[in-house]
Amino acid sequence: MTDSVQGALARLEPFAAGVIAQQANNIDGSAVFPTHTVNALRQANLLGLITPTEHGGLGGTIFDAARVVERIAQECGTSAMVACMHYAGAAVLAAYGSAEANAEVARGEHLSTLAFSESGSRSHFWAPVSTAKRSEGDTVTLDARKSWVTSASHAHAYIWSSQSLDDPAASTIWLVQRGQEGLSIAGGFDGLGLRGNDSTPVSAEGVRIPAANQLGPDGGGFDVMMGTVLPAFQLMNAACSIGLMEGALRGAISHVSATRLEHMGASLRELPTLRSYLAQAHIQADSARALWLDTMAAAGSNRPDTMLRILQVKAAANEAALDVTATCMRVCGGAAYRKDLGVDRYFRDAQAGAVMAPTSDVLYDFVGKAICGMELF
Ligand SMILES: Cc1cc2nc3c(=O)[nH]c(=O)nc-3n(C[C@H](O)[C@H](O)[C@H](O)COP(=O)(O)OP(=O)(O)OC[C@H]3O[C@@H](n4cnc5c(N)ncnc54)[C@H](O)[C@@H]3O)c2cc1C
């Protein structure tokens, strides 16, 4: 761990173990957005964690952000997803955004998110069907049906994809302020898990934005999505799954240790079957974590297998989280069906990762192509 990671985690810890943990069941029950988590990140000076120092940020790496997301996910999946999407957006701003936008993030005034997925191209986020047209007065007009935008009603602005101005087969990325005329957010989020993450459809009808809000070159959206967003998102989404596995295992181990079979004078953990399940789940969680750490080591030293690891890490962690949290449910028996135990929350929160783009199925296709020496697209 670098000094910057240690510093970030040390500032986060009182909030993670405190208010974020305390509010997790409430957020799950009420599906309310975790404003307290955004406030905590602001107070800990972590919203600008990866924003360059010349704009007042901490200049941390995406690895630092992934560690922060993983720690939060141990307590509250919703909060971790909000942080994950913020850092994914902040990474784009750090690479392509204005000094002003980055300074807002550094001051904790700007919560970011991605508005990539669309009703038309669904999880194939790299192929937007929404449009951007040149308009008078150096503006651009956007029309879109975005299908899922985390923090939709709470983000200050969206990192937005569209077809390029000149070529429908290419894409361009924009900064779109929330509240812009012509933008509409469809109600709240009522999902199986990550219940407070406010991941809601957002549509744009004739939304006029300054042409200067373009992030990267026109037609360069694919490179921004694949070069900047994908590595960051893969690591941080995997971090969510790894943190969720940690939280679920912690809950299950504590339950089987504390719960007694009085007629046998034994605790549940004295049943070899349950210990075996827990052992297998722990091995699976640790294996996913080891791959995650190795991916960061590969990316940090420009190892030749970096891209392969980046493609693998999200699928490995997402799929492991499905298995591990299901095993934790089983180990806790009927008690896990009660919300007070909290294991069911990790199980439900873990379902999202594998269907978040790039989905596990798409990643298997990419990894398969990569190891067979084929082009991904
Ligand atoms: C909680 C949550 C938060 C989200 N937040 C955001 C956000 O902030 N910003 C954002 O842009 N998006 C966000 N998304 C959207 C997400 O990234 C995916 O785009 C979305 O989950 C895909 O759902 P879909 O119904 O459109 O899937 P579909 O694309 O309809 O896929 C259906 C099934 O087909 C499979 N499939 C699709 N293509 C292929 C293929 N080529 N090969 C093999 N199998 C394939 C998929 O794996 C899936 O199982 C979020 C999603 C969730 C669940």
Closest residue (by CA) to atom 19 of ligand 1?
Answer: 123
Confidence of residue 9 (pLDDT cuts 50, 70, 90): confident
Q: Flag whether 152 is in a domain.
A: yes
Q: Flag whether 335 is in a domain.
A: yes
Q: Which atom of ligand 1 is nearest to the CA of 191?
A: 1
Residues in the chain: 377
Å from CA of 64 to ligand 1 middle = 26
pLDDT at residue number 340: 87
Closest residue (by CA) to atom 38 of ligand 1?
Answer: 362
Q: Flag whether 376 is in a domain.
A: no
Whether the CB of 355 sits within 6 Å of ligand 1: yes
Whether the CB of 130 sits within 6 Å of ligand 1: no
Q: Flag whether 192 is in a domain.
A: yes
Where do the H-state alpha helices sit in the chain? Answer: 3-15, 21-30, 35-43, 62-75, 77-96, 99-106, 221-223, 230-258, 272-300, 306-332, 343-350, 360-371
29 and 149 together in one domain = no
Domain containing 92: what range? 3-106
d(CA 198, CA 186): 10
Give the CATH number, domain containing residue 101: 1.10.540.10
Examine the fold and report which residue of 185, 217, 249 is the final residue of a domain before the chain moves on.
217
pLDDT per residue over 301-338, tens digit each? 999 999 999 999 999 999 999 999 999 999 999 999 99
| Average pLDDT for 263-273 | 97
Is 2's pLDDT higher than 70? no
327 and 232 together in one domain = yes
pLDDT at residue number 85: 98
43 and 148 together in one domain = no
Give the CATH number, domain containing residue 171: 2.40.110.10
d(CA 326, CA 312): 22
Pocket test for ligand 1, best of 148, 178, 190 (most atoms within 8 A of CB): 148
* Cα dihedral across residues 147, 92, 19, 2: positive or negative: positive
**Do the beta carbons of residue 367 and residue 311 sit within 8 Å?**
yes
d(CA 71, CA 40): 13
In three-state secondary structure terms, 146 is strand
151 and 135 together in one domain = yes
Examine the fold and report which residue of 83, 106, 129 is the final residue of a domain before the chain moves on.
106
Å from CA of 356 to ligand 1 middle = 5
φ/ψ region of 187 (left if φ > 0, alpha if ψ in -120 to 50, else beta) reads: left
227 and 176 together in one domain = no
Tally of domains in the chain: 3
pLDDT per residue over 177-196, tens digit each? 999 999 999 988 999 999 99
Is the overall model pTM greater than 0.75, yes or no? Answer: yes
Å from CA of 141 to ligand 1 middle = 26
Q: Flag whether 61 is in a domain.
A: yes
**Percentage of the chain lying above the pLDDT 90 cut:** 97
Tokens coding 185: 């957010």
